[in-house]
Amino acid sequence: MHPNAERLPVPDFQVSGQSCLDQRLHDTLPAHPAWRCKDSPIMIFDTLRDLPRRNRAGRCALFILLSMLVGSLVISNGIPAGLRRSPSSPGRSEIITDLLDDALIIRTPGASLLNQEHAPLGKWTLLSPDRLIHAKEAFQIVMECEPDIINTSLCVSQYHVHFRGPIALSLPPEEGLYAHDPSSGRTVITAILPQPGWYEIWAWRDQSQPGSCAPQLWDGPREQAVGSGQVMVEVLRPRRSRDVEADHMRPCASSDYQGDQPGRWVSVGHVREQYRRLDWYQSYLTRNETLFTPSDMPDYIWIPYRCKRSALNYRRSIEEIEDVRHVAYIGDSILRTSYCGNLFATFHGEVSGQCSYADDLMDYHYSDKSFTVPIESLDRRSDPRDHVIFSQRFVDNYFPASADRIRTLKQLEPVTHIVANIGMWFAALEPEEYATQVTDFLHIIIDTFGSDVKIAWLGTPSVSPGIVCYNDMKRAYLSRHTSTAAMVIASLRRRYQNLDIGIVDGWSITDSRPETSSDGRHWVREGVLPDIRLRPLVSRADDAFMEIIWDRWRTKYKDEVEAAAAAKLQWP
């Protein structure tokens, strides 16, 4: 058990010979695990009934939130965990409904989630819900400004609200979820949590429109709501069996990457003991491809619902995927930091040489970067490679110069795989304008390398306003980038039949892990930002990106090898 954890008992209740409390009695008891029915009755419940009938915006907001949850979560038809007996050693193809321990409480250590040593407080207070909460049902929390800032710019209408418990989840910046009353300074926020358990609530100011920040200071983090990390909520198990979360234990296959791959951030410490011996879980405990190993900060891992994969391992990946010869990271500083802070550091044991941070634009920020990794193949007949090249080319908002930098890659060995992204330079654009930029950028890549190169598109990550408030980068704007790029990519696939582009939703993955950002907009440590003692889990979101990208390439290559072998057997 994690050192910051405690487990509260969940006893069986016997009332008048029944195996569970009557639902009416159950609803009158305190929201505490000791009073919770193990086998709660299944009832049909109209979530909209909880919202004020006059609050049409709230009703619309609920539908928005539910639709976003469908994009990132799976609603299962499984059996509630309390009603199903799970084996101690699940098979590789089993479906389970009790992966996480919902009676366990793990607290965040240090002064604050975003700064272990300092926790500045703002003039707004987080109020805890005053009713029982069930998974997959809407509930409301309230933010209240102090009287002296009401009707000022300090009393904002939106907040970055983050829940940290068995899963880590942030509420999306959809306006309909936030009902703000300027005269009272109160903001009523509608939320839904899909996973039962105990959660800390954290909150920071957020603004939806560019240009709304106070003067930027680099002494972050910004002020957090009074009560952040102290206010806790218990989410009870869902009333309806179809709302129970289900996890497939089978290994991921290429078919799992052909469309959306719903997933969530799962607390390492909340995984039940009987599942901790599984290979995919053990791989996260033994991973060593990060320079910064936290000591007591509770960690999370991004896992899909419908399959399970192992933790990121670059060395194993390039050995297994034998068609990888030259991998190019082409994009803005999001990919530069990933290339230098994670990829280069993995193979060199440190950040040095061409990846040593410098303020000079041409010597570091815009400079072309490449390095070679030797391959010691056990069988040269099946794998003739003796090395793999990794390169990085920087792309800004001036495409002619960026295209010239990209074309220099042709002077090296042929590029076989590309990780691509643009977004931070176009953060304030409307979707139609951003779609034009994505189209032009991908045409440069296809025209340069052909349509048969394997491409991974990394959707623009979110920002962490609790660290730094950026005037030109807002969660609300960036949240639209991945879906906009997906429409462009769908159009290109119709034009180029052999085009292979996988899409990773960078926004959803990062938005629910604000403490893994280095400076509020990047997700890998670069230079001196941050002091790793303040945010020891920086780079975890980047690990999640690359796990998806590399496992997709692995499963795709495996299918191609198996198809080629089958074709040989059928040859007369």
Question: Residue 154: which CATH number?
Answer: 2.60.40.10
Measure the CA–CA gap between 508 and 72, rounded to whole angstroms.
Answer: 8
Residue 11 has pLDDT above 80, yes or no: no
- Distance, in Å, from the CA atom of 562 to the CA atom of 508, rounded to the nearest integer, reads 33
Residue 481 DSSP symbol: H
Residue where a domain stops, chosen among 269, 286, 303: 286
Give residue 207's pLDDT.
Answer: 85
Among 6-20, 205-219, 447-461, 516-530, name the most confident range: 447-461
| Residue 433 clears pLDDT 70, i.e. is over it | yes
Range 359-365 average pLDDT: 86
Contact 126, 201 (CB under 8 A): yes
* Residues 231, 156 share a domain: yes
With respect to residue 542, please indicate whether it lies within any of the assigned structural domains.
yes
What pLDDT does 404 receive?
A: 97
Residue 264 pLDDT greater than 70, yes or no:
yes
Provide the whole-model pTM.
0.84
Write down the pLDDT at residue 290. Answer: 52
Q: Are residues 236 and 351 in the same domain?
A: no
pLDDT of residue 219: 52
pLDDT of residue 58: 52
Other Cβ atoms less than 10 A from the Cβ of 212: the count is: 14
User: In this model, does residue 227 exceed pLDDT 90?
Assistant: yes
Q: Is the domain of 278 the same as that of 134?
A: yes
* DSSP H stretches of helix in 372-430: 399-407
Residue 300 confidence class, pLDDT cut points 50, 70, 90 = very high
67 and 216 housed in the same domain? yes
Q: What is the pLDDT of residues 439-458, one digit of tens each?
A: 999 999 999 999 999 999 99
pLDDT computed for residue 65 by the predictor: 53
Given a cut of 80, whether residue 57 has pLDDT beyond it is no
CATH of the domain at 499: 3.40.50.1110
501, two tokens: 């582009």
For 23-47, the pLDDT digits (tens) are: 322 332 233 332 233 333 222 223 3
Burial class for 77, CB neighbours closer than 10 Å (0-12, 13-18, 19+):
exposed
pLDDT per residue over 159-193, tens digit each?
A: 999 999 999 999 999 999 999 999 999 999 999 99
pLDDT at 43: 25
Are both 485 and 545 inside the same structural domain? Answer: yes
Rg, the chain, Cα only: 24
Same domain, 82 and 138: yes
Helices 399-407 and 431-449, axial angle in degrees (round to 10): 30
Nearest to 171 by CA among 271, 333, 62, 47: 62
* Domain final position from 286, 320, 355: 286
Whether 84 has a pLDDT exceeding 60, the answer reads no
Name the band, by pLDDT with cuts 50, 70 and 90, for residue 220: low
Domain carrying residue 538: 312-567
Q: Are strands 121-127 and 139-145 parallel, antiparallel or unpaired?
A: antiparallel
Which amino acid, one-letter code, is at 247? Answer: D
Same domain, yes or no: 261 and 381: no
Is 241 found in the same domain as 333?
Answer: no
Among 58-67, 228-237, 510-519, which stretch is predicted with the lowest mean pLDDT?
58-67
Predicted local distance difference test score (pLDDT) of residue 54: 40
On whether both 268 and 342 belong to a single domain, the answer is no
Which pLDDT score, from 0 to 100, does residue 571 have? 64
In a domain, 318, yes or no: yes
- What b/e sequence results for 106-135 when a residue is b if at least 16 CB atoms lie within 10 Å of its CB, and e otherwise? bbbebebbbbbeebeebbbbbbebeebbbb
Q: Is the pLDDT of residue 295 over 90?
A: no
Shared domain for 138 and 189, answered yes or no, is yes
pLDDT at residue number 205:
94
3-state secondary structure of 286: coil
Residue 295 lies in a domain: no
Domain count, the chain: 2
Considering the domain architecture, whether residues 88 and 197 belong to the same structural domain is answered as yes
Residue 47 CB-density burial (10 A; 0-12 exposed, 13-18 middle, 19+ buried): middle
Predicted local confidence at residue 354, as pLDDT: 94
What pLDDT is recorded for position 340? 97
> Regarding predicted confidence, which is higher, 277 or 381?
277
Task: Please give the Cα distance from 537 to 32 (Å, whole number).
Answer: 31
CA distance 377 to 386: 7
For residue 51, the model assigns a pLDDT of: 40
Q: Are residues 82 and 179 in the same domain?
A: yes
Q: Give the model's confidence band at 87: pLDDT under 50 very low, under 70 low, under 90 confident, else very high.
A: very low
pLDDT tier at 527, thresholds 50, 70, 90: confident
Res. 12 pLDDT band, cuts 50 70 90? very low
Q: In this predicted structure, which of 63-77, 378-392, 518-532, 545-559 has the lowest mean pLDDT?
A: 63-77
Residue 10 falls inside a structural domain? yes
pLDDT: is 95 or 384 the higher one?
A: 95
* Whether the predicted pLDDT of 365 surpasses 80: yes
CA distances from 159 to 76, 174, 207, 372, 391 (A): 30, 10, 7, 45, 39
What pLDDT, on the 0 to 100 scale, is given for residue 91? 59
Please state, in angstroms and rounded to a whole number, the distance separating the CA atoms of residues 161 and 171: 6
352: left (phi over 0), alpha (psi -120 to 50) or beta: beta
Q: Where are the beta strands (DSSP E) in 44-147?
A: 95-96, 104-106, 121-127, 133-134, 139-145
Q: Which of 252, 286, 320 represents a domain boundary (last residue)?
A: 286
Mean pLDDT, to the nearest integer, of 10-17? 32
205 phi and psi angles, rounded to 5 deg: -60, 145
Which of 369, 322, 321, 320 has the alpha carbon at shortest distance from 343? 369
Give the HSE-up count for residue 351: Cα atoms under 13 Å, Cβ half-sphere: 21
Residue 216 has pLDDT above 70, yes or no: no
More confident residue, 551 or 222: 551
Largest pairwise CA distance in the chain? 85
User: What's the whole-number average pLDDT of the chain?
Assistant: 85
In a domain, 98, yes or no: yes
